[in-house]
Amino acid sequence: MSTAITTRHQAAVMQAQAKTDDQLVALWLHDKSAETQSAYADDLARFQQFAGGKPLASVTLGDLQSYADSLSSLSANSKRRHLASVKSLLAFGQRIGYLPFNVGAAHKLPAAKDTLAERILSESQVHAMIALTGDQRDRVLLQVLYASAARVSELCALKWRDVQPNQKGGQVTLFGKRNKTRVVVLSEQTYKALLSLRGSAGMNDPVFLSHKGGHLDQSQVWRIVRQAAKRAGIAGNVSPHWLRHSHASHAIDRNAPITLVRDTLGHESLDTTSRYLHARPGESSSLYLSI
């Protein structure tokens, strides 16, 4: 078989993976978490509405540039996220042969201010959130969320079979983003607090029960975190992810090896974890000035 025929055959096979925009979107979203799927779907719907329902194969660079201009009222970070979603879909469409080329590749994402430092709580704030929470389930949830650096989806999915003892106290097995599994060791204090919720629950029962008896919903965890922050007098739209950021920053402040923090958080790149070094620096040339 000639090279040209082979190339055409490969293209035909790739093209068959999706025949409509809806099928392409379904393939694009398939392996993403429910939370990410929802956010990406909303971003795409906004773009499609702006483009007047135009098929993706007909989208031009001009359409994308006009859409970017229409987002001028949003913050730089929000604008970047909306555009990144569309660019991701267009790149995926070309990668599987559905789109002849990727017009998004020619459009650069806008620079955005790194606001990570704003989403890192102090240790005293975290301790206040936990201490001022009266409900036992909610108090333990906050403690484990911070101690394990779990994503909210990982925390909600926990079953008792994922909780095991070890020589340090205990450990939890988390399964989440990009279908990755990681084991996080908990202190004896946090492990005992977690076990206090078990009662007669079986191995396959949820660790954090909703009032209806099933797994706690992610929206409920957001509510628990926000109420805890309010009780502690913390301003801002505090989310569960702030406790993950705080875990990383506090561990580094206490001289935890950055590679260990990377593995605990489940980051693929050390560059991602290194952001916490710069978010709360301990030194600055300003300290050498006379004022």
Per residue in 104-119, pLDDT (tens digit) is: 999 888 776 667 778 8
pLDDT value at residue 213:
85
> pLDDT tens digit string along 232-246?
999 988 999 999 999
Would you mind telling me the total number of residues written for the chain in this entry? 291
> pLDDT tens digit string along 84-98?
999 999 999 999 889
- Secondary structure of residue 192 in the 3-state scheme: helix
pLDDT value at residue 159:
96
More confident: 18 or 216: 216
The rounded percent of the chain whose pLDDT value lies above 90 is 59
Q: Per-residue pLDDT for 12 more than 90?
A: no
Report the catalytic residues: 151, 177, 241, 244, 267, 276
Q: Work out the mean pLDDT of the chain and round it to a whole number.
A: 87
Q: Per-residue pLDDT for 69 more than 90?
A: yes
Q: Are 60 and 106 in contact (CB under 8 A)?
A: no
Single pTM value for the model = 0.71
- Secondary structure of residue 19 in the 3-state scheme: coil
Q: Which residues contact 259 (CB under 8 A, 6 or more apart)?
A: 270
Backbone dihedral angles phi then psi of residue 187, each to the nearest 5 degrees: -65, 160
For 268, half-sphere exposure in the C-beta direction (CA atoms, 13 angstrom radius) is 5
